Chains A and B, each alone.
Chain A
């Protein structure tokens, strides 16, 4: 998908983000992260387990992207992902959207309604058994 004439790359995160899978994911996204002014969206909807290593990888991606004047946004975090992001105080460092489409659109305009869940701490409508 393209906005502002620059591509937005959407990556789905693995179900279990532990030290090993975080390293693999980093290897996957590194070319995009190190591109010029990257625009990235990580889809966290499949995540059922997020470790400190996964959070560390997210922060590393964010730091690299910001170094290159780009942006990294998160989309549709699952309940386990939300809980760990809040626990590690990292949820406040990212723009987080309800869907990946909202996150992509947000690169070309401000979308407050797409961030409703983050702002209101509302449960996502799709949440089933955790």
Chain B
């Protein structure tokens, strides 16, 4: 069955919760980078791969959480909304999409990150000839719906009840693939682990420079630092001399792990600084806070020698944009393979992963140039 004229509407906000959350995040989890890209962008790419080229997102969050314009895929439109008017803007956008000629709208709230087979869901929806179909995973209702353009009233009841109820009965589409609730810092960390250990269909950004070690061009890793697989290091991140990055650690873009620090089973969020000589384990660090997963607590750290947050501004941001532009250009010219490689078949045995890797500047010449452009240096540059 061919896919009808369809489009997708992705909603991202933080619903107020009265439940005590020991590991809160500052913004919606779907907007945090995980192994190079946010769950939002991963969902958009998945929708487009499934034959839904037009995707619109309505986001209620601080502007700093929005995806950068230079990483937005073509066909993806990103709109902002205030918390108070979020659901009204979402409903208006849905109506606008149906008026623009879409026969079917895939409606998603992130929320949980689920690798749903959208083609199969759309097929099931069309076969049943019902206005709304909802995805279910292990008896848990996901906020993922297929809505026919004719089901405007059903959609309106969904939006007005904040996805709590629908006017007509929603048949279920059973999702058996990967799902992560993305409710707090623990889930964000788990998603990073699952991406690095290839439990998800989505893959880390960048290039796999060693089995299990993904690095985005433009990083600065000191030759004396050790990066042990699996690990991910994002654009413009810096790893200082003698530092050790190990056990499914994810270092996001612009983060800086200072000399001698051991980062184990942790996520260092974008633009976070982790001081020298520290031992960071089982944690999510960023925005001047540590969410310690083993102790199930979040601690604000006021001492900038230990943990700090340096958002990119001015010249640093410009440098980074230039780095990304040069990487994209060199990928287009065929000098460096495209970062996005298709996922290997699920049953294919994983390549042997060495225990310890010493990441030295063996990256292609273009990568070193990128590192220079990003204003970072390795010992080899001295």
1/0 per residue B255-293: CB within 8 Å of A? Answer: 000000000000000000001011111000000001010
Q: B242 on the interface (CB 8 Å rule)?
A: no
1/0 per residue B191-210: CB within 8 Å of A? Answer: 00000000000000000000
Q: Is the CB of B297 within 8 A of A83?
A: yes
Q: A52 on the interface (CB 8 Å rule)?
A: yes
Given contact pairs A52-B303, A130-B22, A86 touches B296 in the complex (Cβ within 8 A): no
Q: B298 on the interface (CB 8 Å rule)?
A: yes
Q: Is the CB of B20 within 8 A of A129?
A: yes
Residues of chain B touching chain A, judged by Cβ–Cβ distance below 8 Å, are 20, 22, 275, 277-281, 290, 292, 294-303, 305-307
- The residue among B20, B275, B281, B292 with the most chain A CB atoms within 10 A of its own CB is B292
Given contact pairs A83-B290, A129-B20, A88 touches B306 in the complex (Cβ within 8 A): yes
Enumerate chain B residues within 8 angstroms of A53, measured Cβ to Cβ: 303
Interchain CB contact (< 8 A) of A79 among B281, B299, B305, B307 = B299
Interchain CB contact (< 8 A) of A83 among B275, B295, B303 = B295
Q: Is the CB of B299 within 8 A of A130?
A: yes
Q: A127 on the interface (CB 8 Å rule)?
A: yes
Given contact pairs A89-B278, A89-B279, A129-B20, A84 touches B306 in the complex (Cβ within 8 A): yes
CA distance A130 to B296 in the complex (A): 10
B287 CB to nearest chain A CB (Å): 15
B47 CB to nearest chain A CB (Å): 38
Enumerate chain B residues within 8 angstroms of A80, measured Cβ to Cβ: 297, 299-300
1/0 per residue A72-84: CB within 8 Å of B? Answer: 0000000110111
16 A-B contacts, Cβ less than 8 Å apart? Answer: A49-B302, A51-B302, A51-B303, A79-B292, A82-B295, A83-B290, A83-B295, A84-B301, A84-B306, A86-B281, A86-B292, A87-B278, A87-B290, A121-B294, A123-B295, A130-B299
CA distance A86 to B277 in the complex (A): 12
B234 CB to nearest chain A CB (Å): 22
Closest to A92 in B: B279
Closest to A54 in B: B303
Closest to B22 in A: A130
CA distance A88 to B303 in the complex (A): 12
Enumerate chain B residues within 8 angstroms of A123, measured Cβ to Cβ: 295-297
CA distance A121 to B294 in the complex (A): 8
Closest to A79 in B: B297
A59 CB to nearest chain B CB (Å): 13
Enumerate chain A residues within 8 angstroms of B292, measured Cβ to Cβ: 79, 83, 86
Closest to A81 in B: B299
Q: A99 on the interface (CB 8 Å rule)?
A: no
Enumerate chain A residues within 8 angstroms of B307, measured Cβ to Cβ: 87
Enumerate chain A residues within 8 angstroms of B281, measured Cβ to Cβ: 86
Q: Is the CB of A18 within 8 A of B303?
A: yes
